[in-house]
Protein backbone atom coordinates (compact mmCIF):
# COMPACT_ATOMS: atom_id res chain seq x y z
CA UNK A 1 0.00 0.00 0.00
CA UNK A 2 1.35 3.39 -0.96
CA UNK A 3 2.42 5.82 1.75
CA UNK A 4 0.10 8.38 0.17
CA UNK A 5 -2.85 6.11 0.88
CA UNK A 6 -1.71 5.60 4.46
CA UNK A 7 -1.38 9.31 5.02
CA UNK A 8 -4.64 10.26 3.36
CA UNK A 9 -6.56 7.99 5.73
CA UNK A 10 -5.32 9.82 8.81
CA UNK A 11 -7.20 12.66 10.46
CA UNK A 12 -5.08 15.78 10.16
CA UNK A 13 -5.66 18.76 12.42
CA UNK A 14 -5.29 22.19 10.84
CA UNK A 15 -2.95 24.40 12.87
CA UNK A 16 -2.71 28.14 12.54
CA UNK A 17 -0.10 27.93 9.77
CA UNK A 18 -2.41 25.84 7.56
CA UNK A 19 -5.26 28.27 8.09
CA UNK A 20 -3.04 31.18 7.05
CA UNK A 21 -1.90 29.18 4.01
CA UNK A 22 -5.49 28.57 2.90
CA UNK A 23 -6.32 32.25 3.31
CA UNK A 24 -3.35 33.29 1.20
CA UNK A 25 -4.24 30.72 -1.48
CA UNK A 26 -7.86 31.90 -1.71
CA UNK A 27 -6.75 35.52 -2.06
CA UNK A 28 -4.39 34.50 -4.86
CA UNK A 29 -7.17 33.06 -7.06
CA UNK A 30 -7.48 35.14 -10.28
CA UNK A 31 -10.81 36.88 -10.78
CA UNK A 32 -10.59 37.37 -14.54
CA UNK A 33 -12.70 35.19 -16.87
CA UNK A 34 -11.04 33.60 -19.88
CA UNK A 35 -12.14 34.49 -23.40
CA UNK A 36 -13.35 30.94 -23.93
CA UNK A 37 -16.45 31.68 -21.83
CA UNK A 38 -18.02 33.42 -24.80
CA UNK A 39 -19.93 31.11 -27.12
CA UNK A 40 -18.09 30.99 -30.43
CA UNK A 41 -18.94 28.63 -33.28
CA UNK A 42 -16.21 26.08 -33.84
CA UNK A 43 -16.12 26.95 -37.54
CA UNK A 44 -14.92 30.46 -36.64
CA UNK A 45 -12.00 29.19 -34.52
CA UNK A 46 -8.61 28.55 -36.08
CA UNK A 47 -5.62 26.57 -34.92
CA UNK A 48 -2.45 28.51 -34.06
CA UNK A 49 -0.29 29.15 -37.11
CA UNK A 50 2.61 27.13 -35.69
CA UNK A 51 0.34 24.13 -35.22
CA UNK A 52 -1.01 24.52 -38.76
CA UNK A 53 2.51 24.58 -40.22
CA UNK A 54 3.50 21.51 -38.22
CA UNK A 55 0.41 19.58 -39.32
CA UNK A 56 0.86 20.61 -42.95
CA UNK A 57 4.37 19.18 -43.02
CA UNK A 58 3.12 15.85 -41.68
CA UNK A 59 0.03 15.74 -43.89
CA UNK A 60 1.82 16.29 -47.19
CA UNK A 61 4.00 13.20 -46.84
CA UNK A 62 1.67 10.86 -44.96
CA UNK A 63 1.33 7.43 -46.64
CA UNK A 64 -2.41 7.15 -46.00
CA UNK A 65 -3.02 10.49 -47.70
CA UNK A 66 -0.81 9.49 -50.62
CA UNK A 67 -2.67 6.18 -50.95
CA UNK A 68 -6.05 7.94 -50.96
CA UNK A 69 -4.74 10.38 -53.59
CA UNK A 70 -3.62 7.44 -55.74
CA UNK A 71 -7.09 5.89 -55.42
CA UNK A 72 -8.60 9.19 -56.56
CA UNK A 73 -6.23 9.29 -59.54
CA UNK A 74 -7.27 5.75 -60.43
CA UNK A 75 -10.96 6.71 -60.24
CA UNK A 76 -10.32 9.69 -62.51
CA UNK A 77 -8.56 7.42 -65.00
CA UNK A 78 -11.49 4.98 -64.90
CA UNK A 79 -13.90 7.84 -65.54
CA UNK A 80 -11.80 8.92 -68.49
CA UNK A 81 -11.87 5.38 -69.84
CA UNK A 82 -15.62 5.05 -69.27
CA UNK A 83 -16.20 8.10 -71.44
CA UNK A 84 -14.52 6.50 -74.44
CA UNK A 85 -16.35 4.52 -77.14
CA UNK A 86 -17.55 1.13 -75.99
CA UNK A 87 -16.80 -0.77 -79.23
CA UNK A 88 -13.88 -0.51 -81.61
CA UNK A 89 -14.33 -1.16 -85.34
CA UNK A 90 -13.29 -4.58 -86.62
CA UNK A 91 -11.35 -5.21 -89.82
CA UNK A 92 -12.52 -8.29 -91.70
CA UNK A 93 -10.72 -10.00 -94.62
CA UNK A 94 -11.72 -13.14 -96.53
CA UNK A 95 -10.03 -15.22 -99.21
CA UNK A 96 -11.44 -18.30 -100.91
CA UNK A 97 -9.73 -20.21 -103.73
CA UNK A 98 -12.14 -22.68 -105.28
CA UNK A 99 -13.78 -22.90 -108.64
CA UNK A 100 -14.07 -19.15 -108.32
CA UNK A 101 -11.47 -17.13 -106.47
CA UNK A 102 -13.08 -14.76 -103.98
CA UNK A 103 -11.36 -11.95 -102.14
CA UNK A 104 -12.99 -9.34 -99.88
CA UNK A 105 -12.09 -6.78 -97.24
CA UNK A 106 -14.61 -5.26 -94.88
CA UNK A 107 -15.11 -3.29 -91.70
CA UNK A 108 -17.60 -4.03 -88.92
CA UNK A 109 -18.86 -1.71 -86.21
CA UNK A 110 -21.03 -2.57 -83.23
CA UNK A 111 -23.37 0.31 -82.41
CA UNK A 112 -24.26 1.28 -78.80
CA UNK A 113 -27.96 1.86 -79.27
CA UNK A 114 -28.91 1.36 -75.60
CA UNK A 115 -26.67 4.10 -74.10
CA UNK A 116 -24.26 1.84 -72.24
CA UNK A 117 -21.41 4.32 -72.62
CA UNK A 118 -23.34 7.12 -70.92
CA UNK A 119 -24.39 4.85 -68.06
CA UNK A 120 -20.78 3.71 -67.52
CA UNK A 121 -19.59 7.31 -67.52
CA UNK A 122 -22.19 8.36 -64.96
CA UNK A 123 -21.24 5.49 -62.63
CA UNK A 124 -17.55 6.34 -62.97
CA UNK A 125 -18.27 10.02 -62.29
CA UNK A 126 -19.96 9.17 -59.00
CA UNK A 127 -17.01 6.93 -58.12
CA UNK A 128 -14.73 9.95 -58.61
CA UNK A 129 -16.93 11.97 -56.26
CA UNK A 130 -16.76 9.18 -53.68
CA UNK A 131 -12.97 8.95 -53.99
CA UNK A 132 -12.67 12.74 -53.62
CA UNK A 133 -14.70 12.71 -50.42
CA UNK A 134 -12.78 9.67 -49.19
CA UNK A 135 -9.54 11.60 -49.66
CA UNK A 136 -10.96 14.40 -47.53
CA UNK A 137 -12.05 11.87 -44.93
CA UNK A 138 -8.56 10.34 -44.80
CA UNK A 139 -6.98 13.79 -44.46
CA UNK A 140 -9.27 14.63 -41.56
CA UNK A 141 -8.62 11.26 -39.95
CA UNK A 142 -4.85 11.74 -40.16
CA UNK A 143 -5.11 15.26 -38.74
CA UNK A 144 -7.35 14.11 -35.87
CA UNK A 145 -4.98 11.25 -35.06
CA UNK A 146 -1.99 13.59 -35.23
CA UNK A 147 -3.56 16.19 -32.94
CA UNK A 148 -4.70 13.51 -30.51
CA UNK A 149 -1.17 12.11 -30.34
CA UNK A 150 0.23 15.62 -29.82
CA UNK A 151 -2.11 16.02 -26.85
CA UNK A 152 -0.88 12.74 -25.35
CA UNK A 153 2.76 13.82 -25.74
CA UNK A 154 2.08 17.25 -24.28
CA UNK A 155 0.27 15.87 -21.23
CA UNK A 156 2.92 13.18 -20.72
CA UNK A 157 5.68 15.82 -20.82
CA UNK A 158 3.82 17.96 -18.27
CA UNK A 159 3.28 15.01 -15.97
CA UNK A 160 6.96 14.09 -16.22
CA UNK A 161 7.87 17.65 -15.19
CA UNK A 162 5.54 17.36 -12.21
CA UNK A 163 7.05 13.97 -11.33
CA UNK A 164 10.56 15.47 -11.50
CA UNK A 165 9.47 18.30 -9.25
CA UNK A 166 7.82 15.86 -6.84
CA UNK A 167 10.98 13.77 -6.67
CA UNK A 168 13.18 16.84 -6.11
CA UNK A 169 10.93 18.16 -3.34
CA UNK A 170 10.70 14.83 -1.55
CA UNK A 171 14.44 14.28 -1.96
CA UNK A 172 15.11 17.62 -0.29
CA UNK A 173 12.65 16.69 2.43
CA UNK A 174 14.44 13.37 2.97
CA UNK A 175 17.83 15.06 3.24
CA UNK A 176 16.51 17.65 5.69
CA UNK A 177 14.77 14.90 7.64
CA UNK A 178 18.12 13.07 7.98
CA UNK A 179 19.72 16.25 9.31
CA UNK A 180 16.90 16.94 11.76
CA UNK A 181 16.94 13.32 12.92
CA UNK A 182 20.64 13.57 13.66
CA UNK A 183 19.97 16.79 15.57
CA UNK A 184 17.20 15.08 17.56
CA UNK A 185 14.41 17.28 16.14
CA UNK A 186 12.65 14.47 14.26
CA UNK A 187 11.38 11.06 15.27
CA UNK A 188 12.46 7.83 13.58
CA UNK A 189 8.91 7.23 12.35
CA UNK A 190 8.82 10.59 10.58
CA UNK A 191 12.24 9.91 9.04
CA UNK A 192 11.05 6.55 7.69
CA UNK A 193 7.94 8.24 6.39
CA UNK A 194 10.08 10.74 4.46
CA UNK A 195 12.18 7.92 3.03
CA UNK A 196 9.05 6.01 1.99
CA UNK A 197 7.66 9.13 0.33
CA UNK A 198 10.90 9.51 -1.63
CA UNK A 199 10.70 5.90 -2.85
CA UNK A 200 7.15 6.50 -4.00
CA UNK A 201 8.17 9.73 -5.78
CA UNK A 202 10.95 7.87 -7.61
CA UNK A 203 8.45 5.19 -8.67
CA UNK A 204 5.97 7.79 -9.91
CA UNK A 205 8.74 9.50 -11.85
CA UNK A 206 9.63 6.22 -13.55
CA UNK A 207 6.00 5.62 -14.46
CA UNK A 208 5.68 9.14 -15.89
CA UNK A 209 8.81 8.60 -18.02
CA UNK A 210 7.37 5.34 -19.37
CA UNK A 211 4.11 7.10 -20.22
CA UNK A 212 6.04 9.76 -22.12
CA UNK A 213 7.82 7.08 -24.18
CA UNK A 214 4.44 5.49 -25.00
CA UNK A 215 3.00 8.86 -26.03
CA UNK A 216 6.01 9.65 -28.22
CA UNK A 217 5.70 6.25 -29.86
CA UNK A 218 2.03 6.94 -30.66
CA UNK A 219 3.02 10.28 -32.20
CA UNK A 220 5.79 8.65 -34.23
CA UNK A 221 3.29 6.14 -35.67
CA UNK A 222 1.30 9.03 -37.10
CA UNK A 223 3.98 11.58 -37.94
CA UNK A 224 7.04 9.43 -38.62
CA UNK A 225 10.32 9.26 -36.81
CA UNK A 226 11.99 12.50 -37.96
CA UNK A 227 9.78 15.00 -36.19
CA UNK A 228 10.19 18.75 -35.99
CA UNK A 229 9.60 20.41 -32.63
CA UNK A 230 5.86 20.46 -32.05
CA UNK A 231 4.22 23.74 -30.99
CA UNK A 232 2.36 24.30 -27.70
CA UNK A 233 -1.31 23.41 -27.65
CA UNK A 234 -4.10 25.91 -26.94
CA UNK A 235 -5.25 26.39 -23.35
CA UNK A 236 -8.51 28.24 -24.12
CA UNK A 237 -11.43 26.61 -25.92
CA UNK A 238 -14.61 28.03 -27.41
CA UNK A 239 -18.08 27.05 -26.34
CA UNK A 240 -20.05 25.33 -29.10
CA UNK A 241 -23.82 25.40 -29.34
CA UNK A 242 -25.67 22.61 -31.13
CA UNK A 243 -29.32 22.40 -32.15
CA UNK A 244 -31.26 20.23 -34.58
CA UNK A 245 -30.65 22.41 -37.67
CA UNK A 246 -26.94 22.49 -36.81
CA UNK A 247 -26.85 18.70 -36.43
CA UNK A 248 -28.41 18.25 -39.88
CA UNK A 249 -26.01 20.81 -41.39
CA UNK A 250 -22.96 19.10 -39.90
CA UNK A 251 -24.08 15.67 -41.07
CA UNK A 252 -24.85 16.89 -44.56
CA UNK A 253 -21.34 18.32 -44.91
CA UNK A 254 -19.46 15.33 -43.50
CA UNK A 255 -17.03 13.82 -46.06
CA UNK A 256 -18.12 10.33 -45.01
CA UNK A 257 -21.78 11.17 -45.67
CA UNK A 258 -21.01 12.79 -49.02
CA UNK A 259 -18.84 9.82 -50.00
CA UNK A 260 -21.64 7.42 -49.05
CA UNK A 261 -24.16 9.44 -51.06
CA UNK A 262 -21.83 9.29 -54.07
CA UNK A 263 -21.48 5.51 -53.66
CA UNK A 264 -25.27 5.15 -53.60
CA UNK A 265 -25.55 7.27 -56.74
CA UNK A 266 -22.86 5.14 -58.39
CA UNK A 267 -24.74 1.96 -57.41
CA UNK A 268 -27.92 3.36 -58.98
CA UNK A 269 -25.96 4.10 -62.14
CA UNK A 270 -24.66 0.52 -62.14
CA UNK A 271 -28.24 -0.80 -61.92
CA UNK A 272 -29.13 1.34 -64.91
CA UNK A 273 -26.04 0.08 -66.73
CA UNK A 274 -26.97 -3.56 -66.07
CA UNK A 275 -30.45 -2.94 -67.46
CA UNK A 276 -28.99 -1.39 -70.58
CA UNK A 277 -26.54 -4.25 -70.95
CA UNK A 278 -29.49 -6.63 -71.35
CA UNK A 279 -30.33 -4.94 -74.64
CA UNK A 280 -28.24 -6.42 -77.46
CA UNK A 281 -26.32 -4.07 -79.71
CA UNK A 282 -26.29 -4.70 -83.47
CA UNK A 283 -23.17 -4.98 -85.59
CA UNK A 284 -23.14 -3.46 -89.06
CA UNK A 285 -20.44 -4.26 -91.60
CA UNK A 286 -19.47 -3.10 -95.07
CA UNK A 287 -17.22 -5.16 -97.34
CA UNK A 288 -15.90 -5.06 -100.88
CA UNK A 289 -13.86 -7.39 -103.06
CA UNK A 290 -13.85 -9.51 -106.20
CA UNK A 291 -15.48 -12.81 -106.98
CA UNK A 292 -13.73 -14.16 -110.05
CA UNK A 293 -13.81 -11.34 -112.56
CA UNK A 294 -16.76 -9.59 -110.95
CA UNK A 295 -16.74 -6.85 -108.35
CA UNK A 296 -18.20 -7.74 -104.98
CA UNK A 297 -19.88 -5.24 -102.61
CA UNK A 298 -21.96 -6.22 -99.58
CA UNK A 299 -23.45 -5.22 -96.23
CA UNK A 300 -23.50 -7.38 -93.15
CA UNK A 301 -25.83 -7.10 -90.16
CA UNK A 302 -25.85 -9.18 -87.00
CA UNK A 303 -27.37 -8.93 -83.55
CA UNK A 304 -27.04 -11.25 -80.52
CA UNK A 305 -30.15 -13.16 -79.52
CA UNK A 306 -30.68 -13.17 -75.71
CA UNK A 307 -32.15 -16.63 -75.72
CA UNK A 308 -29.85 -18.74 -73.57
CA UNK A 309 -29.00 -15.89 -71.17
CA UNK A 310 -31.19 -12.83 -70.68
CA UNK A 311 -28.75 -11.32 -68.12
CA UNK A 312 -31.61 -10.69 -65.70
CA UNK A 313 -29.58 -12.08 -62.81
CA UNK A 314 -27.01 -9.31 -63.16
CA UNK A 315 -29.74 -6.68 -62.83
CA UNK A 316 -31.15 -8.39 -59.74
CA UNK A 317 -27.68 -8.58 -58.18
CA UNK A 318 -27.01 -4.89 -58.82
CA UNK A 319 -30.40 -3.97 -57.36
CA UNK A 320 -29.71 -6.05 -54.25
CA UNK A 321 -26.28 -4.42 -53.88
CA UNK A 322 -27.94 -1.02 -54.10
CA UNK A 323 -30.48 -1.94 -51.42
CA UNK A 324 -27.75 -3.24 -49.10
CA UNK A 325 -25.66 -0.12 -49.61
CA UNK A 326 -28.68 2.13 -49.06
CA UNK A 327 -29.49 0.45 -45.75
CA UNK A 328 -25.84 0.53 -44.67
CA UNK A 329 -25.67 4.26 -45.39
CA UNK A 330 -28.86 4.84 -43.40
CA UNK A 331 -27.40 2.93 -40.45
CA UNK A 332 -24.11 4.85 -40.68
CA UNK A 333 -26.04 8.13 -40.75
CA UNK A 334 -27.90 7.16 -37.59
CA UNK A 335 -24.64 6.28 -35.82
CA UNK A 336 -22.93 9.48 -36.97
CA UNK A 337 -25.83 11.51 -35.62
CA UNK A 338 -25.52 9.87 -32.21
CA UNK A 339 -21.72 10.27 -32.24
CA UNK A 340 -22.03 13.95 -33.14
CA UNK A 341 -24.38 14.71 -30.25
CA UNK A 342 -22.33 12.66 -27.79
CA UNK A 343 -19.06 14.28 -28.90
CA UNK A 344 -20.57 17.72 -28.37
CA UNK A 345 -21.79 16.81 -24.90
CA UNK A 346 -18.42 15.33 -23.91
CA UNK A 347 -16.60 18.39 -25.18
CA UNK A 348 -18.84 20.84 -23.35
CA UNK A 349 -18.51 18.89 -20.09
CA UNK A 350 -14.72 18.76 -20.41
CA UNK A 351 -14.46 22.41 -21.43
CA UNK A 352 -16.66 23.57 -18.56
CA UNK A 353 -14.57 21.64 -16.05
CA UNK A 354 -11.35 23.04 -17.52
CA UNK A 355 -12.65 26.63 -17.47
CA UNK A 356 -13.79 26.15 -13.89
CA UNK A 357 -10.31 24.94 -12.94
CA UNK A 358 -8.68 27.91 -14.64
CA UNK A 359 -10.94 30.31 -12.76
CA UNK A 360 -11.01 28.66 -9.35
CA UNK A 361 -8.13 26.22 -9.01
CA UNK A 362 -5.14 27.33 -11.06
CA UNK A 363 -4.23 29.95 -8.45
CA UNK A 364 -0.66 29.62 -7.35
CA UNK A 365 0.15 25.98 -6.66
CA UNK A 366 3.88 26.64 -7.00
CA UNK A 367 3.83 29.25 -4.24
CA UNK A 368 1.75 26.89 -2.16
CA UNK A 369 4.45 24.20 -2.21
CA UNK A 370 7.07 26.79 -1.24
CA UNK A 371 4.92 28.02 1.65
CA UNK A 372 4.33 24.47 2.84
CA UNK A 373 8.07 23.87 3.04
CA UNK A 374 8.61 27.09 4.98
CA UNK A 375 5.91 26.10 7.47
CA UNK A 376 7.49 22.66 7.87
CA UNK A 377 10.94 24.14 8.39
CA UNK A 378 9.49 26.54 10.97
CA UNK A 379 7.96 23.63 12.88
CA UNK A 380 4.34 24.71 12.34
CA UNK A 381 3.76 21.52 10.30
CA UNK A 382 4.86 18.07 11.30
CA UNK A 383 6.24 15.75 8.63
CA UNK A 384 3.02 13.83 8.21
CA UNK A 385 0.92 16.97 7.70
CA UNK A 386 3.52 18.41 5.34
CA UNK A 387 3.58 15.27 3.19
CA UNK A 388 -0.21 15.12 3.07
CA UNK A 389 -0.49 18.75 1.94
CA UNK A 390 2.40 18.43 -0.52
CA UNK A 391 1.02 15.23 -2.06
CA UNK A 392 -2.41 16.81 -2.40
CA UNK A 393 -0.94 19.86 -4.12
CA UNK A 394 1.10 17.81 -6.57
CA UNK A 395 -1.77 15.41 -7.23
CA UNK A 396 -3.95 18.40 -8.04
CA UNK A 397 -1.41 19.55 -10.60
CA UNK A 398 -1.37 16.07 -12.13
CA UNK A 399 -5.18 16.03 -12.27
CA UNK A 400 -5.14 19.49 -13.90
CA UNK A 401 -2.73 18.31 -16.60
CA UNK A 402 -4.90 15.26 -17.19
CA UNK A 403 -7.98 17.46 -17.50
CA UNK A 404 -6.17 19.64 -20.02
CA UNK A 405 -5.52 16.48 -22.02
CA UNK A 406 -9.17 15.44 -21.68
CA UNK A 407 -10.51 18.75 -23.00
CA UNK A 408 -8.00 18.71 -25.87
CA UNK A 409 -8.98 15.15 -26.79
CA UNK A 410 -12.67 16.06 -26.58
CA UNK A 411 -12.09 19.12 -28.76
CA UNK A 412 -10.31 17.10 -31.45
CA UNK A 413 -12.99 14.40 -31.28
CA UNK A 414 -15.67 17.06 -31.75
CA UNK A 415 -13.83 18.55 -34.74
CA UNK A 416 -13.40 15.09 -36.27
CA UNK A 417 -16.99 13.91 -35.87
CA UNK A 418 -18.37 17.26 -37.09
CA UNK A 419 -16.04 17.33 -40.10
CA UNK A 420 -14.24 20.54 -39.10
CA UNK A 421 -10.67 19.35 -38.62
CA UNK A 422 -9.63 20.67 -42.03
CA UNK A 423 -11.29 24.01 -41.39
CA UNK A 424 -9.83 24.45 -37.92
CA UNK A 425 -6.40 23.42 -39.19
CA UNK A 426 -6.51 25.88 -42.05
CA UNK A 427 -6.50 23.25 -44.83
CA UNK A 428 -10.04 23.59 -46.10
CA UNK A 429 -13.36 25.38 -45.88
CA UNK A 430 -16.76 24.17 -44.85
CA UNK A 431 -19.05 23.47 -47.79
Q: Looking at the domain 3-84+117-278+316-425, which fold is it?
A: Outer membrane efflux proteins (OEP) (1.20.1600)
Determine the pLDDT at residue 366.
57
Largest CA distance in the chain: 136
**pLDDT tens digits for range 248-289:** 889 988 999 999 999 999 999 999 999 999 999 999 999 999
Burial zone of 321 (CB within 10 Å; 0-12 exposed, 13-18 middle, 19+ buried): middle
Q: What is the pLDDT of residue 266?
A: 94
Q: Enter the pTM of the model.
A: 0.76
Q: Taking a C-beta distance cutoff of 8 angstroms, is the pair 37, 355 a contact? A: yes
pLDDT of residue 95: 87
For 150-219, give the secondary structure using H, E and C.
Answer: HHHHHHHHHHHHHHHHHHHHHHHHHHHHHHHHHCCCCCHHHHHHHHHHHHHHHHHHHHHHHHHHHHHHHH
- Give the C-alpha separation, 81 to 3, whole Å: 73
The residue ranges of every structural domain in the chain are 3-84+117-278+316-425
pLDDT tens digit string along 76-121? 999 999 999 999 999 999 988 878 888 999 999 999 999 999 999 9
Long-range contacts of 76-85 (CB under 8 A, 24+ apart): 76/128, 76/131, 78/124, 78/127, 79/121, 79/124, 79/125, 79/127, 79/128, 81/124, 82/117, 82/120, 82/121, 82/123, 82/124, 83/117, 83/121, 83/124, 84/117, 85/112, 85/117
Residues 6+ away with beta carbon under 8 Å from 149: 215, 218, 219, 221, 222, 223
What's the whole-number average pLDDT of the chain? Answer: 82
Lowest mean pLDDT among 16-30, 197-211, 249-263: 16-30
Helix axes 188-223, 116-182, angle to 10 degrees: 160
Amino acid sequence: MHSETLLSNRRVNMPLGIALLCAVWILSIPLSVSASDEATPASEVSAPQALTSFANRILQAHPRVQAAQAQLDAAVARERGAGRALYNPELDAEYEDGEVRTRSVGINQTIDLSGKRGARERAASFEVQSATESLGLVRQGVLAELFSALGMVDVAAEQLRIADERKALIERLRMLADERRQAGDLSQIELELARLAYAEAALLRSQAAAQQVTAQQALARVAGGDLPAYPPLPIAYASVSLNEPAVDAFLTNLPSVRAAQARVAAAKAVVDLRRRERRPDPTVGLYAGREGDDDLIGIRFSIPLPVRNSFRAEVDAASADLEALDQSVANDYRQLRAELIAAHQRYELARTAWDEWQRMGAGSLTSQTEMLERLWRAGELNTTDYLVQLQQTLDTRVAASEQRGVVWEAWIAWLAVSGQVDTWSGFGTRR
